Chains A and B, each alone.
Chain A
Amino acid sequence: MNGVIQGGWEFVIAAYTITGLAFVIYGISLIVRLKELRKHD
């Protein structure tokens, strides 16, 4: 590695988007599952 890697913002944005989306989607799925189960309880 000789020079500085130029740019690369698109990779950074992709990584943060995936991370954020995964957390949000999983959180929503958990709350939905809990609600669903509580209904039957």
Chain B
Amino acid sequence: MKSRVPYVFLALGAALLLFGSYWGLFIAPAEQYMGNVQRIMYVHVPTAWSWMLAILWAFGCAIAFLSTSNMKWDSRMEAGVEVGVLLAFMLCCQGAIWAKPTWGVWWDWDPRLTSVAVLLVASLGIMALRSFVDDPHRRAIWSAVATIIASVDLPIVYFSVKWWNSLHQQQSTPNTVSSAFYIPLRVNAFGVLFLMIGFIWLRTRVAALRLRQETAIPHGYEEAGELA
């Protein structure tokens, strides 16, 4: 339980992120059309990749919990959902900051940004549901069900918004990543990935400890007894 591995991940992730960001900010050349604004990409895209992994992790944990009923998976899922909220929130902020100088508006109805926002709200709903249920077993089942339903929604939201957007305006997204931009992008991708792993690991510990204390003291069982 007291392994130091998550802290190693955090330190390694922070170091990589600092190094990659330094490279991206000061060594890599400014992009041909986007100028310096394009440097946001070096944190934005890695955050997006890690966010998708966090959602996938939460989805996998939800399925694992429903098929094994092992509370370990519940703690892992709780961690995945919360870290997913953190990353999605950052993605929305970075996306808005990128959109303003490039397209002149803070919010552009880009399918990726919109799906992130939708899933951010859905994840917050799952966290709210968890906070309102006192019985750990019911909380685990219900939030696993909600997580599966929300994750399945992600591709549907993405494609419907993409469709909706393309039918009324064509958005050109500069996606040309030439070799000069690879190094900071890759370094930062691993940096954010390691940070995410460290966070999920530590957050799982928090969830597991809380669960142990919850079940040790029979507190909050009055309501559960009423329903059952």
| Contact flag (A, B; Cβ within 8 A) | yes
Q: Is B76 an interface residue (CB 8 A)?
A: no
Q: A12-B25, A33-B206 are in contact. Are A19 and B101 (CB under 8 A)?
A: no
Interface of B is mostly: helix
Instruction: Let me know if B53 is at the binding interface, CB within 8 A.
Output: no
Chain A contact residues: helix, strand, loop or mixed: helix
- CB atoms of A19 and B94 under 8 A apart: yes
B206 and A19 within 8 A (CB): no
Q: Scoring A residues 12 to 41 as 1 if CB is less than 8 Å from chain B, else 0, what string do you get?
A: 101110110011001100110110011011
Q: Is the CB of B97 within 8 A of A15?
A: yes
> Measured between C-beta atoms, what is the minimum distance from A18 to chain B in Å?
5
* Smallest Cβ-Cβ distance to B34: which chain A residue: A5
- Given A6-B35, A19-B90, A30-B203, answer yes or no on A37-B40 (Cβ-Cβ < 8 Å): no
11 CB contacts below 8 A, A to B, read A1-B174, A4-B33, A5-B33, A5-B36, A8-B36, A9-B36, A12-B25, A15-B98, A16-B43, A23-B195, A38-B209
List 5 additional A-B contacts (Cβ < 8 Å) besides A4-B33, A11-B97, A15-B98: A4-B32, A4-B35, A8-B35, A11-B100, A38-B209
